[in-house]
Structure 1
């Protein structure tokens, strides 16, 4: 299946865009940074029949609105944006997968409305209730200097992203969108360059990082939480930012968790879409019959 062009949806929380495809069991797919819903385009071509794909553009990215102010970019707020979209679309129960910041938003959604999320997938991002593993990451990063994380500090610096990225969008994005095993598709890069060129995007995208410290303080209170729904963690094991220590102790964070590894970098679903789609097809449950 192929994802549609963006559609616009206005909810009480704002105006957002999304892509969709197929019919059957709802599967919500949430992108990360610096991507949009288009990040699922190549994966969608290998998904089994029986899924109704809903891929939203998160606030500040894709073609969704660029709200001004950091308060809109706390991950629990972004989760409420997506929930409001699903409410407007009449989607009650659904399966859910997210990559990078989209994996955090997916977790926030599963925390807010666990009765509606029947299965949960996370790709190359921290598990927010894994306090022990995440602390081991912090220790490892501090011991090695953390050079790979420079872009996060850059974006957290007031005004820097807004001043330095406009006019340099392609250079900025190509630095990150490099596959460890296979190149990122050129059509994907072109779409993200287009998106990042929309006025307000550098500031909106930077706000994902500027809100991180306060988000992390709240996540540190979730160490007793256990995800009740069947879950899968799909990990691109050539990632230089989401390092293997993020996987430590995650078994204790879920009632039922599968962990699978892909020989790929951070953007594993863009590098190896067919392999990632195979894991999605094997874990998530399509409708048995689609009329």
Structure 2
């Protein structure tokens, strides 16, 4: 093991100190403006969608649907810091063939926001998917996941393989594979700095909200992390993100709790199991957070899996290169 407990503790201390210094400097240089947030109206790009809610056993989830209720179910599961709108290009593309549903996961946007950190443990998250599919009257679905949504989709496939017709994961590998790579690759360990940043209580929430949620601009527009094809992420799209993280009781606090459950051993469930459903892994090669070697590692212990690379695309591959992603998905879905 290259990365040991001491290294992890040092990183956590480093990012705690970094966060404190950043906040102090922000207050000193900008005063109260550091905490100011613009009051936002709902952007037009969020209007005109079929927005619905569903009450599950212990939580109410919001979702957006395209396609009719009698078609096969294609369920889209977003990551962080995202919400249903991350799948806008796919919701439009596949609406004539499937009942396309993009959920807001618990803690995000319009879905319920349980208050405790443990409310976001991986077992709860996978059960949300199971209960959602069953509540709609389906026994199975095509599952499409990205980032955290992809990790949950992988884990769901391990717990409930009979409920997954086909699995499509974008820029995320099997959780157990990621954990093991994280432990043994110092390069990946360094890329995953944000895992440690988010373990610190309260400070990540303060930094995420600072300067009118400037961190969202870093994620989606910076040279390091951002979407390469900026015509696919307009000023209005950015406003949609900021609206989704500041209205209707939404905040960064609840989504960050996903990271605070990142080291739960449940993520290692089924690491030796063979998955038999068809699996497609799509990977933007310019992902600053996850190394592209993880795409190939994803194929271990799959009987029917393949990986496709999208050259030059960022971590946000389904938004960065929607035409390429949609084409790869269509080809995969057409296969028997």
TM-score exceeds 0.5: yes
Distance (whole Å) between structure 2 residues aligned to residue 55 and residue 143 of structure 1: 33
Does the C-alpha gap of structure 1 residues 200 and 28 become closer, same or farther in structure 2, counting only changes over 3 Å?
closer
The yes-or-no answer on 1:241 pairing with 2:289 is yes
Q: Secondary structure of the equivalent of 1:212?
A: coil
CA radius of gyration, larger in: 2
Does the C-alpha gap of structure 1 residues 166 and 180 become closer, same or farther in structure 2, counting only changes over 3 Å?
closer
Q: 45, 56, 61: which is aligned to 1:16? A: 61
The yes-or-no answer on 1:271 pairing with 2:329 is no
Q: How many residues align?
A: 279
Distance (whole Å) between structure 2 residues aligned to residue 158 and residue 143 of structure 1: 26
Equivalent residue runs for 1:253-272 within 5 Å: 253-263=301-311, 264-272=313-321
Equivalent residue runs for 1:50-69 within 5 Å: 50-69=97-116
Does the C-alpha gap of structure 1 residues 119 and 260 become closer, same or farther in structure 2, counting only changes over 3 Å?
same
Q: Which residue is equivalent to 1:223?
A: 271
Q: Secondary structure of the equivalent of 1:284?
A: helix
The yes-or-no answer on 1:193 pairing with 2:239 is no
Shift of 1:181: 2.8
Q: 73, 78, 88: which is aligned to 1:31? A: 78
Does the C-alpha gap of structure 1 residues 144 and 125 become closer, same or farther in structure 2, counting only changes over 3 Å?
closer
CA deviation profile, 1:1-22 (whole Å, cap 9, x unmatched): x983421111212111001111
Q: 209, 212, 230: which is aligned to 1:166? A: 209
Q: Which residue is equivalent to 2:21?
A: none
Does the C-alpha gap of structure 1 residues 159 and 47 become closer, same or farther in structure 2, counting only changes over 3 Å?
same
Q: Secondary structure of the equivalent of 1:45?
A: helix
Distance (whole Å) between structure 1 residues aligned to residue 79 and residue 327 of structure 2: 20
Does the C-alpha gap of structure 1 residues 104 and 197 become closer, same or farther in structure 2, counting only changes over 3 Å?
same
Are 2:81 and 2:255, in contact at CA under 8 Å, matched by a contact in 1?
yes
Are 1:25 and 1:285, in contact at CA under 8 Å, matched by a contact in 2?
no
The yes-or-no answer on 1:118 pairing with 2:165 is yes
Relative CO higher for 1 or 2, CA cutoff 8 Å, sep ≥ 6? 1
Equivalent residue runs for 1:84-95 within 5 Å: 84-95=131-142
Are 1:31 and 1:100, in contact at CA under 8 Å, matched by a contact in 2?
yes
Does the C-alpha gap of structure 1 residues 200 and 159 become closer, same or farther in structure 2, counting only changes over 3 Å?
farther
The yes-or-no answer on 1:282 pairing with 2:334 is no
Are 1:170 and 1:193, in contact at CA under 8 Å, matched by a contact in 2?
yes
RMSD of Structure 2 on Structure 1 (CA):
2.3
Does the C-alpha gap of structure 1 residues 171 and 6 become closer, same or farther in structure 2, counting only changes over 3 Å?
same
Does the C-alpha gap of structure 1 residues 180 and 211 become closer, same or farther in structure 2, counting only changes over 3 Å?
same
Shift of 1:46: 2.7
CA deviation profile, 1:123-181 (whole Å, cap 9, x unmatched): 11121243xx75344333x25871x4333322210111233333545311110013453
The answer to which structure has the higher helix fraction is 2
Q: 242, 254, 271: which is aligned to 1:204? A: 254
Structure 1 unmatched runs, 5+: 287-291
